[in-house]
Structures are given as C-alpha cells and as structure tokens.
Structure 1
Amino acid sequence: MPSPPRPSSCRKLIPRRTQNLSFVLEGIHKVKFEDRPVPQLKDPHDVLINVRYTGICGSDVHYWEHGAIGQFVVKEPMVLGHESAGVISQVGSAVTSLKVGDRVAMEPGIACRRCEPCKSGKYNLCENMAFAATPPYDGTLAKYYVLPEDFCYKLPETLSLEEGALMEPLSVAVHIVRQAQVSPGQSVVVFGAGPVGLLCAAVATAFGASKVIAVDIQQPRLDFAKQYATTSTFLPGKASAQENAERLKKENDLGTGADVAIDASGAEPSVHTGIHVLRNGGTYVQGGMGRSEIQFPIMAACSKELTLKGSFRYGSGDYKLAVGLVSEGRVNVKQLITGTVKFEEAERAFLEVKAGKGIKTLITGINE
C-alpha cells in the first residue's frame, strides 16, 4: 500500500519580495511557490482582484493527487484554486459597477459569450470556457487575479470575505437545486454529505422543501448534516439499492417515494438508490462526478417516467442568488468553515482535505 504524500519543501522556496506570488502545481504531489508578474487588464471591462481567501475543492485535490480529471490533463505548470473572494485593486476604464476597495465573490469561469450555449443563456456549457485551475488555465491561488466585472459579485457589509469564498460551492448547489425545480412542500433526498451535498440540503430547505434527507456512509458527516440543514439522515446498510431505498422511504414516511433525489457523491450505489427512492414522475439530478461510466437502472427510470437531469457548475443568476441567500440569513456557510491555513502553508490544506479532515478548509491570501 503506497504511503501518503508528505508536504514538500516548497515553503522554503518563497521569495522574500514578491509581485504576484502563486501556488503552482507542477506534477503529481509536486507543488511550488512561484512569483509571477502582476496580471494586466487587457479589456476595459476587467478588474484586478487581490485574492484574500480561497477554499479547497475536491477537483483541486484531484489534480494534485492524479494530475488529471478526465480529458483535462496538467501538461504545464498550473496555478491551483477557484473558490475565492477578494478586494478590487484596479478597475478597467469601462467598469461602472465596481470600484477599488470593493469586496467581491469571484466567479472563476469566463465564458466566450459567442457560442450557441452562451447565446442561449447556458454559459456554463460554453464550448470555449476558460475556467480557473482547469488545464490550461491558471487558478486563483495567487496574490492577484483578473476577471470581467460582471463575474464579480459585490459582498454586502454583513458578509465576510471568508463567506465570500464559499459562494462558489454554494452556487454549484444553487444550480443543482434549481435544476431539480425544488418547490415548497416537496421531499428531497440528497446523497453525499460533503460540502456541496450539505449546501444542496441548505438550499432545498431555503426553497421550502418540507423534508430534506441526507444520505452518506460516514456517520460523522450525517451527524453534522442533521444539525446543519436537514430534517433527517440515512446511513445505508450492506444491502441492495432497492432494499436501502425501501428502508429510506419507510423510515422517513415518504409514501411511494421522494419528489426529488439529488446525487452529490458520484458513487454508483447512490445513483441506484436515488432512482429507486423516487416516486413515479419524480425528478433526479446528478451533481456529483464519479466514474465516467456506470451501470444504471434504466428500467426503473423509464417505468417511473422520471425526469433526469445533469448539473454542471453554475449559470445565469446562480451567484447572485447564492449571495442573497446568505445575506438574508436563509443559508449559513460559516458553519462549513472548519479550518484556515496561511498562504505559505497551502500544501498542508491539500493534505488535510485529502485526509478527510473537516468540511471546508480556506487558504488566506496575501494582502496588498
């Protein structure tokens, strides 16, 4: 059995004086700090952001652990990170909605605005998306990062920059729940009690779901979910998906089945159980990414005439709604922050997330 990765000596390589210190992935378990030039504003609608907090996502850890996610392969050194918030440091000549000093949540995917998905209003499906920390594009774990002004969301005074960094995973959850069209009074089962699954439960509750049930194979996660944003939890047994689904329905008084099932785990048993736990005419949304191909209970999906949807990142209005949900007190993201590390100890955050410690770890940025 291979030994777990150990922190590298990258901390010793930090220059004393820096312009745009960045945390760079060179290869599997091989990272370094690199001082790069401060990015220039190339478009009059762009802004320069001093990044203050960045959350660690499973995709960041996957690139660090494996050097690739599906077709996206790290071939050149790449700055990691995409869950960030910061302070506006410079604005382009055409920027009207932001000024220097504004605190913003950063939407890290820049769409081309020209392809058919973009023009039809689904820019998250852009054919030429430039997404932070997805090869070949650099991420946000740097002192400075450039974005168009309309991909920055001004934070109300009541929201901290730490909370701002969690607008990215919350926007993922908002998109998933909007895909499911959750409405007041519905029953929702969420598979996976990691950060996105927990946030899906919180958003479903905010949307008025009367029952929100979290499913996970780790009891500590379920314990947290129960006190965070669910009406109940479910620990699957060593049984078939149909048997677990029947027990889940019985224990939670779901009658013939749940209205909505959301998978935020990507695990094949969860997918199967999610299909079987739904009532006839129910809605299933796949938000978690697991293996590229799995077996699927297609007969059950057809005979129940289920609505099946995928969900990818976030689209129009999702970030704005995420900020609103938190500022209005309808979703709490502070409770998910279980650790913060200094920028020069960034690799330690990856090790802790890989080890399953806590829920959401943040890396502090470098103030101007």
Structure 2
Amino acid sequence: MMMEQKTEVALPDIQKDNLPKTTRSAVLNKVFDISLEQTPLPAMKPTDVLVKIVAVGICGSDVHYYDTGHIGDFVVKKPLILGHESSGIVVATGDDVQNLKRGDRVAIEPGVPCGHCSYCRSGRYNLCPNMQFMATPPVNGDLSELIVYPQDFLFPIPDDMSYEIATLNEPFSVSIHAAQLLGIKPGSSVFISGGGPVGLLAILAARTFGAHQIIVSDTQDLRLQTAKKMGADRVINALKEDPRKVIAEMTNGEGVDFVLEASGNPKAEQAALRTLKRGGKLAYIGVPTTDAVPLDIPFMTDHETQVFGIFRYANTYPLGLEILEKHMGLAENLLTDFYPLSQTKDALEKTRTDKGESLKVVIYPNEQLRHN
C-alpha cells in the first residue's frame, strides 16, 4: 500500500538575519566509525539557500567509504559527512534567490560544477574536473540537519510526492542518463544486469523511453521480485540460470539491442557484453572493486559494439521528478528501511550486510516521518 504522500514538516524558527553557524551531522571519522557532531555551516551567499534536510537515501558509494575508506582515487583522509540522495524544505534564502521561498519542498542535485570549463559550457557538466559532489572526498555530504546550498541545484518537489520518493531522483538520474546516452527507443529490447536501486530504476527509465522487452538479472530474490513489480518482462536468477543462454533463447540467438550493466561485478560485466546483438550498445554503470576488467575486444569489433561509461548525470533532475510523479506507486517498492540520524551506523550496516532483504535505506536527519 502506498504511504500518504505529502507529509508536513515543521519549519525551524530561524530568522534570515540570525542564521545558525553549526548543525548536527553524522560524520565518518574513519572506516566503520560514525559519530554525531556539531559541524560548521558556511556563510550563505546571495544565491544560496538554507535547507532543512528531511530524507537521505543511502547509496552504495556511502557504504564503500564507510567500510573501505576509498573508491578508486577518492580517499577519505579526514572526517567526512556522507549522504547525497536527498530532499528537504527551504528554511531561508539569500537576497538574490528568485525561484524559491521559505517552505518550498525540494530535491537536491548533489553535484555543483564550476560552470566555466569546456565540459560545463557544452552541457556535460557531470564531467567537470572541478565538480564539488556531495560525500565524495573531500566534499561533505548532507547527512545533516541543515545545509547551505546553491539555488540552481534545488528542484521543487511535486505536491503529491513524498520526501522519500524524491530522494530516489538521484539514483534514477543515473538510469535516465544511461538511457539517454544509449538512445533507447520504442520497440527495443533491453537487458539490465544487476537489480540494485539503480538497476531497478533503469526498468522505469527503459520503459519510459519505449523499450518493448526488458530483462533483468540478479542473484537476490527480493530484487528479482521487485523487478517484476517495476515492469520487467523476464527476470533471471544468475545463480540458477545463465543470462546469456536465456537471452539467446528469447531473441532467437540475436541478442538484445541495449544492455545496462549495473552490478559492478567483473564477471557480470564481461558476460553482459555477449548478450548484445550485432551493432548493440552497452552502458557500464556499476563500478567494479577491481582496478580493471578485461573485455572481449574481438567480439566488440566483430559486432561493432558501442560501449558507454556512465559517470553520474547531467540535466536530468526535472525529467526524473516528472517521471517519478507518474509512477510513485512503483517507486514506493524500493523504499524498505528507515532510520533516524542517530542510527546512521545501523543504517549503513543494514545496506552493507542485508542485500537479500533491503533495497533503499532512508535516513531522517531531523524528525522521522515514517516508521517500519
């Protein structure tokens, strides 16, 4: 059953001429060490907004920093506030803020690019080398009661959408970006390898862009069951069936038009390539834990395969909210676990250790709106 969507959130009694200088945050001090601390709030610029964070979804990257202290070249060298899938309510606005006011409900795009480099000017700001992305060292995230943030990366939430569903717009944006780069079109076939939150939301993205046949593989029954609810035409338990054989049988040996590899498992990344038809396109979304993954270059040249690496997203937030609003009942299936800020460590452990029973874990930095 769907939850009641729009939940009232109390606005703190904060005056524009007397803004707080600190806020309570969940801080990663070192691997497996989370503490609640008073952390500094930056001074607001004229185009900044003070936001009370209502809900934050936990991402796999948060867990990687929590249990290993690094992802690739990004290393936690000093205390870091995690969290980047978030929504909240506007508390105060800078003098030059035009489109937002106190009390507005917003989804927060967690990356702020420089706006000046060639990538930003061409619209591919996700590739900005000076990107300030939440919870990517050394940039703090938003597992905090309050944050100061630029107005340009705050997007109004539809009135009938919950704060929890609004947090899904961040992982959904990754799926939308992948679908756009691949050029998924009406009548096409799509294989999604990996049924975590991004893979499950990729079902919604693929269907929105017109895919006719969607196949999803994973090793966890909960994820496969949820994939069916989200609209997958066929699900494959990779522990019991070989996705390559199943897809070959389903496509008369030709393969699928598009693949979205969202598991980050090196073996799955290699196998997904061979499910493509000649001239097919593949997007690698999941990040493997190894430094490099060998790929079958002879297969790629013989099949004229097009391969895309997916790095975050650009210009997707308004579209993502529009699509999610039309499918809130489906999106609700991903929300499984809910914690207050004081239990951030428990929330990270839940995400890290319980992939069989948990999909998207939500943390409430202020009052908890929903309970198990």
The two structures have a TM-score, normalised by structure 1, of 0.90
> How many Å separate the matches in 2 of 1:101 and 1:254?
55
Structure 1 position 266, deviation (Å):
1.2
> How many Å separate the matches in 2 of 1:263 and 1:65?
23
Report the equivalent of 1:365: 365
> How many Å separate the matches in 1 of 2:40 and 2:296?
52
Report the equivalent of 1:280: 278
C-alpha change, 1:244 and 1:193, in structure 2 (3 Å) is: closer
Report the equivalent of 1:25: 28
Q: How does 1:82-93 map to 2 (within 5 A)?
A: 82-93=84-95
Alignment gaps of 5+ in structure 1: 1-17
Structure 1 position 229, deviation (Å):
2.3
Q: Partner of 1:48: helix, strand, or coil?
A: strand
C-alpha change, 1:82 and 1:323, in structure 2 (3 Å) is: same
Structure 1 position 90, deviation (Å):
1.1
Report the equivalent of 1:54: 56
Q: Partner of 1:323: helix, strand, or coil?
A: helix
Structure 1 position 126, deviation (Å):
0.4
User: What is the one-letter code of the residue matched to 1:363?
Assistant: I
Structure 1 position 254, deviation (Å):
5.2
> How many Å separate the matches in 1 of 2:252 and 2:317?
32
Structure 1 position 19, deviation (Å):
4.6
Quote the RMSD (CA, aligned, Å).
Answer: 1.8
The two structures have a TM-score, normalised by structure 2, of 0.89
User: What is the one-letter code of the residue matched to 2:324?
Assistant: V
> How many Å separate the matches in 1 of 2:226 and 2:326?
22
> How many Å separate the matches in 1 of 2:155 and 2:258?
30
C-alpha change, 1:115 and 1:93, in structure 2 (3 Å) is: same
Q: Partner of 2:62: helix, strand, or coil?
A: helix
Report the equivalent of 2:10: none
> How many Å separate the matches in 2 of 1:143 and 1:301?
49
Report the equivalent of 2:301: 302
Report the equivalent of 1:352: 350
Q: 2:81–2:135: 8 Å Cα contact kept in structure 1?
A: yes
Q: How does 1:86-165 map to 2 (within 5 A)?
A: 86-165=88-167
Q: Partner of 2:86: helix, strand, or coil?
A: strand
Q: Is structure 2 residue 258 aligned with structure 1 residue 260?
A: yes
Q: Partner of 1:61: helix, strand, or coil?
A: helix
Report the equivalent of 1:314: 313
Report the equivalent of 2:232: 230
Q: Is structure 2 residue 327 aligned with structure 1 residue 334?
A: no
| Count of residues in Structure 1 that have an aligned counterpart in Structure 2 | 345
> How many Å separate the matches in 2 of 1:279 and 1:37?
53
> How many Å separate the matches in 1 of 2:244 and 2:109?
37
In the TM superposition, what whole-angstrom CA distance separates every residue of 1:168-213 from its partner, at most 9, and x where no partner exists?
A: 1111111111111111110000000000000011110122111010
User: What is the one-letter code of the residue matched to 1:264?
Assistant: A
> How many Å separate the matches in 1 of 2:49 and 2:201?
29
Structure 1 position 255, deviation (Å):
4.4
Structure 1 position 310, deviation (Å):
0.9
Q: 1:203–1:331: 8 Å Cα contact kept in structure 2?
A: no
In the TM superposition, what whole-angstrom CA distance separates every residue of 1:228-262 from its partner, at most 9, and x where no partner exists?
A: 221111223589xxx74133220x23541100011
> How many Å separate the matches in 2 of 1:294 and 1:353?
25
Q: 1:219–1:235: 8 Å Cα contact kept in structure 2?
A: yes
Q: 2:247–2:255: 8 Å Cα contact kept in structure 1?
A: no
> How many Å separate the matches in 2 of 1:186 and 1:147?
40
Q: How does 1:165-244 map to 2 (within 5 A)?
A: 165-236=167-238, 244=243
In the TM superposition, what whole-angstrom CA distance separates every residue of 1:115-173 from its partner, at most 9, and x where no partner exists?
A: 11111110000010111111111100001112211101101101111111111111111
